[in-house]
Structure formats: C-alpha cells, structure tokens
Amino acid sequence: VVLMAVPVLHGLFAGGRKCGKTVILLAAIATWALLSSLLSLNPRLSFLGSKGWSVGSLMTLVLIAATIIVSRYLQLNSYMLLAAMAANAFINILAVVQSAGINAFGLQNGLIREQYYSYLSTIGNANSYSGYLCLVLPLFWGAFMSCREWSAKVLYGIFAVLGSMGIIMANSDSTYAGIG
C-alpha cells in the first residue's frame, strides 16, 4: 500500500495542485483504518479481512485510493451515468423479480427456505443490498432533481423509482439510517 501510495500522492499534488478537504478526510479515514488494524487483537486478520464480511483495512485503503484517483483524473460527463444506470436498473429489477418469488438466473439455488427472501439481486444479503442503495439512490435522486431536460428527467425518474422499490424489497432499517 505504501509503495502504491507514494507515486500516487506525488502525482496528485505535483504541479501546485492543492490537497482538498475531501482528500484530507479520506486520508484521515485511511489512517483510522490502518490504526484500528494495527491495534486489533489480530492485525493481519483485521488488515486482510479474512473472516466475516471480508472487508478489512486493505479493502478500505484500496477503495479510498481508487476514489482519489478517479476524482482527480477522470473527467465525468452525463453520458457516463448511463452505464451506471443500466447496471443499477438490472440489479433493482432482479431484486423486485426475486421478491415476487421468481428465481431468475438461479441465484437463489441452494438457499434454505428461511433465508430465501433475505438475499436480493446480485448483491446478496438484504443489508448489503441496502448499503448499495444508500450509495446509488442519492446520486439518481440528485440527478433527477437537478436535470433540466424533460427526457432526462423521465430517465432519471425511472431509475430513482426502481431504486426506491429496492428500499421496500430490502426491508432493512439500515437503508433509512444510511440515506438519512
């Protein structure tokens, strides 16, 4: 991680670029993740996330680095959201279909009956799915509210409604807490 971070940070701040508040906050989160792993009972297990949800400090650091790199170097335009909207639509439609008892693509094969409705779409557990919704729904709701063209408003509205249906399908209080 350190070997990757040095050239990345050098490239990010070369040429007089300033370190913004968001980068400082992300660096603080990365530091906190590393310290929590180092001070844990099993630093290696905590860092690698080998058990449980398999999300250790390493995953947190990789996601933070990816966020900083993408925000600095990728020039976003509104058309790039179309791919995200298509993937989001597929995930949410699949959750709705599965909630109706249709096992599309056999993703729920092998689940015991008590767990059948706890796993949604391609995301898996209802709480993981609700976490996904907490990330994507504000994006689509914001795009819906800020767009000016009628056709774009309809398109964003469809995806916002699909995601809102996903909140109902997930039936998880964490969705409300996360979006709040």
Confidence band, pLDDT 50/70/90 cuts, at residue 142: confident
pLDDT of 4 strictly over 70: no
**Which whole number is the average pLDDT over 106-127?**
68
pLDDT of 104 strictly over 80: no
**pLDDT-above-70 percentage for the chain:** 77
CA separation, residue 169 to residues 108, 119, 175 (Å): 15, 10, 11
CA separation, residue 144 to residues 4, 108, 152 (Å): 37, 33, 8
Q: Helix, strand, coil shares of the chain as percentages rounded to 5? A: 75, 0, 25
Confidence band, pLDDT 50/70/90 cuts, at residue 116: low
Rounded-to-integer distance, Cα 5 and Cα 65, Å: 8
Q: Please, what is the average pLDDT of the chain?
A: 77
More confident position, 112 or 154? 154
Confidence band, pLDDT 50/70/90 cuts, at residue 162: confident
Nearest Cα residue to 94 out of 3, 166, 28: 166
**Which whole number is the average pLDDT over 59-75?**
82
More confident position, 1 or 72? 72
**Which whole number is the average pLDDT over 64-92?**
78
pLDDT of 6 strictly over 60: no
Query: What is the pLDDT at residue 3?
Result: 53
Which residues, including other chains, have CB under 8 Å from residue 141's CB and lie 6 or more apart? 160
* The two three-digit tokens of residue 88, written as one number: 């989001």
